[in-house]
Structure 1
Amino acid sequence: MALAGQGKTKATVGYLDIQTTGNQSLAAIVPVEIEGKFLYWWLSSQYLTLRNLSSQDGRDGLNLEMIGNIVCPVPPRKTQRRIARFLDEKTARIDALIEKNRELLNRLAEKRQTLITHAVTKGLRPDVPMKPSGIDWLGDIPAHWEMLPLRRVSRRVATGRTPASANADYFADGVLNWFTPGDFSTSIELHESTRKLTPRTIRDGVCTLYPAGTVFLVGIGATLGKVAVSTTAGSANQQINTILPNKNNDPYFMAYFLHGFRAVVRTISNSNTLGILNQDGTKSLVVLVPPISEQKEVASELRDYDSRGAGVIEKIERSIELLQEYRAALITAAVTGQIEELV
């Protein structure tokens, strides 16, 4: 077995069916007086306990001494094998159900993406005259729509900022939303941030408070291209570009358009390992501009679709969550002798 000793995967365990080697962040565990699969399931049940362990010198990682001191129950060999077989079979069924639910979520996301892309490039009326956009990823667009760089349809494009974390006056008892990439979800709206700022950050000019209806676009990292509209006034960190549309541009239509072409946004970001879409790059993004009434119509249709689908998605996500909880509880019950038929 291999047990991860540090980082995001700390305390995760893998059962190895092949000969292999590992780097210094893994502990190799070779079972001798215990069934390997039983030990695997026992260690899996102890994930949270192991993850919370730290060494006496304050380091967060697991060392060999700590792993060697882990106390594990050792029932008779036959019982160990029976428990291991039981968990192999039961968890395989649970995992299959979880995977089916995840596939369903993926299909719903793909359907949503297709609908958004079509609506923000073709509109809602199939019989309108079309014209070539001259851009491969846009194709033909309604003849009465314009194509403009984002700077032409915005009152302001700016980049968020991060206050000095050492200054408690900027964070303690904060009440103002301060959005970071971690606050984005699949929703087209941003309601609440995890961390808050105090009004002093605005008074000191450390951060800017953007009004409700501002479009927030992640400009760096794994979530580059994620986009949402703020429903309340809020600020943002330096990983986010903020766009305040002018009066002839609807923020929701703009956000849906950028969402529909997130892959393009990611492609045109600075070509380095991390990927960065800076303020100038954001201003240069080409967007489609229908008449404002049509923008609102498209945005309203897409928001209604999202509203109808939100309940379905929530149920599927809750189903996955319950299956994962049941899986964890089943493993714990089995390896601690709480299932009578196994002991």
Structure 2
Amino acid sequence: MSWPTAPLKRLVDPTRPITYGIVQAGPDTPGGIPYIRPVDMTQYDGVPDVKRLQRTTHEIAQSYRRSTVAAGDIVVSIGPSYGKTMVVPHILAGANLTQGTARVAPAKNVSRRYLYWALQSALAKQFWDSSVGGATFRALNLEPLGRTPIPLAPLAEQHRIADFLDAETARIDALVLHRYKQSELLGERFESLAKSVTGRTAFRSGTLPDGWSTQQLRRTIKSIKTGTTPSSDDSEIWVEHTQTDTVPWYGPSSIGALLGLTPSLKRLPRSAMAERVVPKFPSGSVLVIGIGATAGKVAYLDHEGTGNQQITALAPELDMVGRFLAWQLWAATDELRELAPYTTLPIINNDFLKSFPIAVPPAAHQRVVVERLDLAASRLRALERTAQQATNLLAERRQALITAAVTGQFDVSTASGRNVTDGVTA
């Protein structure tokens, strides 16, 4: 069974056509009217915390009263992160939108929940993708949004489909949440292990084992260098990734989890370091993000490289195992951020780093710790990859289930209760 389609604009309340919201909302105004931006919305669950919505003045909201939302309306993000959908809860009745979100007020002969699910189907998403394809600014305009094809199921069937999808996607979402909590718990356990074996826990409690010492970081490193960005005069210095005798140039986005480095998209000729256009980060350095939202993140560099001004490289002394130093600073990330000087964000500058106290065991024990943490990190990465693969599979099945239901590819009255997550266990 399948149904013909109609454009979305034919299925909305004619007195409340599809519209976007406020163009200039002004500064956040306590006591004002809340408005919904794409960034405030999750992919499926709407606004997780309405108290954190920004607010505009009553005067501005009044001038955009055409885009006021009511309980039961559907909001669709149409900015660069287009395609998020939500049903407006009663607590947000009377709120407004921005130019990055659009209101869809379903007509009386259309099930709101069915329309919500239809807007999450592959039929709708593929239409949107084709509508913005090739555009420099990939945003969804009201015109293609209004032409979104919606299957015209009979009203009673719309209610059955919505009930079915409410129940079945909740099961899938519960599995995804379970996977997320599993990964979170594994991460917390690894962090606890790292803090214990590197000595951060004992250092904080003042009970370091015999043979360990406390030293300022300056006494364990040969050099500390902060990266730079070549000036505009050096614009031709950048080289293709495929060229030989080059070194990677790292920024904060390159610093991954568990001391990892993602591949650098930019490279410089090795001669740039010799000519001091950029500083040399020697192999075996510990990289630390010094400023910004991710300040304190740590990676280990097992090859020569360089970086921008947000990256600091620490070259350890011969009796300090580089990966041990990296793991201890990784375990101390929260301490680095809490103790560092602040403006609006922590600033982990070189003077602060050099004075930061670390726990130092004998070199032989450092190597034992590194071996243990590297092995545990490898296992954690493997478990996270498995969890992510399962989560991706669940997302694919969720999408396929929604599309099949709203397009009438199966009868939901006989499909209810079947195991839509068969083969994907918690």
Deviates further, 159-168 or 243-252: 159-168
Residue of structure 2 in register with 1:246 after alignment: 317
Q: Which amino acid aligns with 2:111?
A: E
Q: Which runs of 5+ in 1 are unaligned?
A: 124-129
Q: Which amino acid aligns with 1:31?
A: P
1:82 aligns with 2:160: yes
1:161 aligns with 2:234: no
Does the Cα contact within 8 Å between 1:180 and 1:193 map onto a contact in 2?
A: no
Q: Which amino acid aligns with 2:78?
A: G
Deviations 1:108-145 (A, max 9, x none): 1111111111111179xxxxxx9xx6xxx353212432
Distance 2:346 2:131 in 1: 35
Q: For residues 1-343 of structure 1, what are the structure 2 equivalents within 5 Å? A: 1-7=74-80, 9-18=81-90, 19-24=93-98, 25-32=100-107, 33-45=109-121, 46-47=124-125, 50=128, 54=132, 59-121=137-199, 137-163=204-230, 167=235, 169-173=237-241, 176-190=247-261, 192-199=262-269, 201-202=272-273, 205-341=276-412
Deviates further, 100-109 or 233-242: 233-242
Secondary structure of the corresponding residue to residue 87 of structure 1: helix
Deviates further, 303-312 or 293-302: 303-312
Cα gap change, 1:39/1:275 in structure 2, threshold over 3 Å: closer, same or farther? Answer: farther
Offset, 1:67: 2.7
* TM value normalised by structure 2: 0.69
Offset, 1:96: 0.4
* TM value normalised by structure 1: 0.84
Q: Which amino acid aligns with 1:16?
A: V
Deviates further, 328-337 or 170-179: 170-179
Larger Rg: 2
Q: Which amino acid aligns with 1:238?
A: Q
Cα gap change, 1:56/1:182 in structure 2, threshold over 3 Å: closer, same or farther? Answer: closer
Residue of structure 2 in register with 1:127 after alignment: none
Q: Which runs of 5+ in 2 are unaligned?
A: 1-73, 415-426
Distance 2:136 2:127 in 1: 16
Cα gap change, 1:339/1:235 in structure 2, threshold over 3 Å: closer, same or farther? Answer: farther
Distance 2:283 2:127 in 1: 43
Secondary structure of the corresponding residue to residue 254 of structure 1: helix
Offset, 1:60: 4.1
Does the Cα contact within 8 Å between 2:249 and 2:308 map onto a contact in 1?
A: yes
Residue of structure 1 in register with 2:50 after alignment: none
Does the Cα contact within 8 Å between 1:176 and 1:198 map onto a contact in 2?
A: yes
Distance 2:127 2:212 in 1: 58
Secondary structure of the corresponding residue to residue 329 of structure 1: helix
Offset, 1:220: 2.6
Cα gap change, 1:56/1:114 in structure 2, threshold over 3 Å: closer, same or farther? Answer: closer
State, as a whole percentage, how many aligned pairs show the same letter: 30
Distance 2:373 2:384 in 1: 16
Distance 1:178 1:52 in 2: 36
The total of aligned residue pairs comes to: 330
